[in-house]
A and B are shown apart, each in its own frame.
Chain A
Amino acid sequence: MTMDSGLRDSCPECAAPVAPQDRFCEACGRNLRVQRTPVGGPVTARCACGGAEFDGEGFCARCGRARVAVRDRVEFVLPGVAGVSDRGRRRQRNEDSMAFGRVRGRGVAVVVCDGVASSERAEQASQTAVDTAVDVLLTGLQSGADAEAATADAVTAANGAVARLARPEAAEVAPSCTFVSAVVTDDSATVGWVGDSRAYLVAGTGAARLTTDDTWAAQLVAEGVLTEEEALTDRRAHVLSRWLGADAGAVEPQSVTFMVETPGLLVLCSDGLWNYVPEPEDLLAVLPRGVPPVEVARGLVDVALEAGGHDNITVVVIQLRGGNGS
């Protein structure tokens, strides 16, 4: 390790000093190029007994109790990307999950999954899916893989992992979830999805929806059978036509890639948000301005909560630099 660097930083794992060009922490071996949200989702930092040391399987080294997930309200923040997930006001559990990570010098990968409420262990399904998929996307960013191909690989891996959670004797309630992802570099972004979780692009004074819902209602709109307005109130509005899970078969995501030319925001969300602000202009009207991504995400979640919070709400906001970055 060189000792002359003025840009000394510290390891996020063990706080040992590291230089900007170091790829791994010399003290604990942590990969310094990759930063990501915790695998397995949000967990308490301290055990109920006060202990803060956990073994590799998440058991307290003092009292043996398993580390508990605290999913009711989750906030994750990394440079340039932040997410908030909330149980809402009506549901017993938060079955949405989010995971994201950042590869230094390469870009950001984000995944949001919404557990299907009628399936069993839906929160396990969504957590497994985001963990599996974000790993694949971060590996892709590190190796410089094509983002659309990496997105398809991530969906295949996540679908397989969620399918393995199913009990053969209870196929009709096999754990399942939706999927929406983003892979963002300095000059381009790729969004992939399966199901009705959405992505919106907000830039300057305009906004656009990047995804089309995989629901029966949306399909009927596309075929001209229903109008958009009719679809919103149709009983099939939220019935998915595609999802991840043992009963989903082989799944390929829809995806879209675009060049990022101007600064803006990319918003990934579950239907707990977009139910209240379906159109891009609705979203734009309530979007907090001039604040960091985490404040934007909190503000949007508050909008959904104030409107009733009927479902779990998850919002991830990614800062788009545009051009050569800044």
Chain B
Amino acid sequence: MGLEFGVEVFQNEYLPQGAGQVDAIVTVTAGGTGAPGREVEPAAAAEVVVIDTSGSMDYPPTKLAAAKRATAAAVDALRDGVRFAVVAGTDTARVVYPNGPGMEVAGPATRAAAKKAVNRLHADGGTAMGQWLLLADRLFAGQDAELRHAILLTDGENQHETPERLTEVLEHVAGGFTCDCRGVGTNWRVAELRRISEALLGSVDIVADPADLAEDFRSMAVAAMGKAVADVSLRLWTPEHAEVRFLKQAAPTLVDLTGWRVESAPRVGDYPTGAWAAGESRDYHLCVRVRPAGVGDRMLASRVSLVDPAGAVLGQGRVLAVWTDDVALSTRINAEVAQHTGQAELASAIREGLEARRAGDAERATARLGRAVRLAHETGNTDTARLLAGVVEVQDAPTGTVRLRRQVADADEMTLDTRSTVTRRIGRA
């Protein structure tokens, strides 16, 4: 199985004399867009659905009922032959399906049996998500499937486990599988689920209305089934005396990968990107600090490669630095870099604004959320602008003049918080 990856680099490679910071947007696109004769065979897959069955799922009871329907929808979306299991999570975790050890092969009979087992679930107990993830990890460890994906649903805070314990678990299971996280209702913590989803290279979102859960689960399972290649790493070569200041996934969502670097050779570091579907495209913002060379010198600031677990290179691009005394060249701002820099600032302005608001610091909240309104306007991020309007009253978007709303629905605030990392690409020809 081989997908080829296209790597495109957007940057202004010209630097003024003495400058050493190189910014680039690296667009990675997995090949095989389904052109005739070029369809990509799906890889062997395993799926675990983890649903919260803590006592609170019964308040209101529609939550547990919706979680059951959603799990059924996800199970129905699995391809025949995919290995799967369903886990119920409380302050411990147990396998709901299958009855025996390991996982079961998806087919008409096993799907029906799984749904029957899920329907018998009832809500009782606490919440310790680390336990849930450890059980999922053990289930995956018994499989040799290339693609290993989990869906995790919760409605509450991780009360029966310390944050330190969760950190330990995340370090232990990272790389074992990818996990999309969903919070139903408004009593869960955005920061907590984001930590899990980022460590496991998945998405995080709020499903405020339980009625929307089934469709959401179905589409997550469909997306997981569409992945063609797993465990792809982004490999950065940088020259001697250079330092990767950061590597962030910049689109479709903002994820900081800087801390996940694994040294694979001198001056070479690998960053996990998870699984890719044919035709999927993501942007990465790379910032490298190099030792400045002389005017007229040209330097390879980074070679960006996509590599599979065996180390085979699936695609490659290069980030350059050229020193010039031509100010017209060095002051040009690359549109892609500006767009993603603006969106990263937008996300942090939203997070800081919401934090200040929760802490009762109205002045800072107004300033940061006002800045966010202005950036959303400038970067053309209309979805975020709409969500911001649920939290602040916008008086003038171009200047970011806002007033905090007195009454803000929890769901509105949490939706803004979770979706603050969803970014938009600028239109490219």
Within 8 A of B (CB), among A53-75: 55, 57, 59-60, 62-66
Does B240 contact A59, Cβ atoms closer than 8 Å?
Answer: no
Query: Which residues of A are found within 8 Å of B297, using beta-carbon distances?
Result: 65-66
How far does the Cβ of A55 sit from chain B's closest Cβ, in whole Å? 8
CA distance A48 to B290 in the complex (A): 15
Any A CB within 8 A of the CB of B242: yes
CA distance A99 to B291 in the complex (A): 35
In the complex, the chain B residue whose C-beta lies closest to that of A65 is: B299
CA distance A66 to B299 in the complex (A): 5
How far does the Cβ of A291 sit from chain B's closest Cβ, in whole Å? 38
Does A62 contact B298, Cβ atoms closer than 8 Å?
Answer: no
CA distance A64 to B321 in the complex (A): 10
Does A63 contact B240, Cβ atoms closer than 8 Å?
Answer: yes
Does A66 contact B240, Cβ atoms closer than 8 Å?
Answer: no
CA distance A146 to B335 in the complex (A): 53
Q: A65-B297, A66-B297, A66-B300 are in contact. Are A60 and B318 (CB under 8 A)?
A: no
Any A CB within 8 A of the CB of B152: no
Q: A64-B290, A66-B300 are in contact. Are A57 and B318 (CB under 8 A)?
A: yes
Query: Which residues of A are found within 8 Å of B300, using beta-carbon distances?
Result: 55, 57, 59-60, 64-66
How far does the Cβ of B229 sit from chain A's closest Cβ, in whole Å? 25
Interface string of B312-326 (1 = CB under 8 A from A): 000000100000000
Query: Which residues of B are found within 8 Å of A62, using beta-carbon distances?
Result: 239-240
Any B CB within 8 A of the CB of A49: yes
> Which single member of A57, A63, A66 contacts B241 (CB below 8 Å)?
A63
Query: Which residues of B are found within 8 Å of A65, using beta-carbon distances?
Result: 239, 293, 297-300
Query: Which residues of B are found within 8 Å of A64, using beta-carbon distances?
Result: 238-240, 242, 290, 299-301
Does B298 contact A66, Cβ atoms closer than 8 Å?
Answer: yes
Interface string of A111-127 (1 = CB under 8 A from B): 00000000000000000
How far does the Cβ of B401 sit from chain A's closest Cβ, in whole Å? 44
How far does the Cβ of A35 sit from chain B's closest Cβ, in whole Å? 29
CA distance A64 to B299 in the complex (A): 5
How far does the Cβ of B56 sit from chain A's closest Cβ, in whole Å? 55
How far does the Cβ of B287 sit from chain A's closest Cβ, in whole Å? 16
CA distance A92 to B298 in the complex (A): 20
CA distance A48 to B301 in the complex (A): 16
CA distance A55 to B299 in the complex (A): 12
Interface string of A74-112 (1 = CB under 8 A from B): 000000000000000000000000000000000000000
A interface residues (Cβ-Cβ under 8 A, vs B): 48-49, 55, 57, 59-60, 62-66
Q: Would you list 13 pairs from A and B whose C-beta atoms are within 8 A, ordered by A residue?
A: A49-B240, A57-B300, A57-B318, A59-B299, A60-B239, A63-B241, A63-B291, A64-B239, A64-B290, A64-B300, A64-B301, A66-B297, A66-B299
B interface residues (Cβ-Cβ under 8 A, vs A): 238-242, 290-291, 293, 297-301, 303, 318
| Closest 7 pairs between A and B when the two form their complex, measured CB to CB | A64-B239, A59-B300, A66-B298, A64-B300, A64-B299, A63-B239, A65-B299
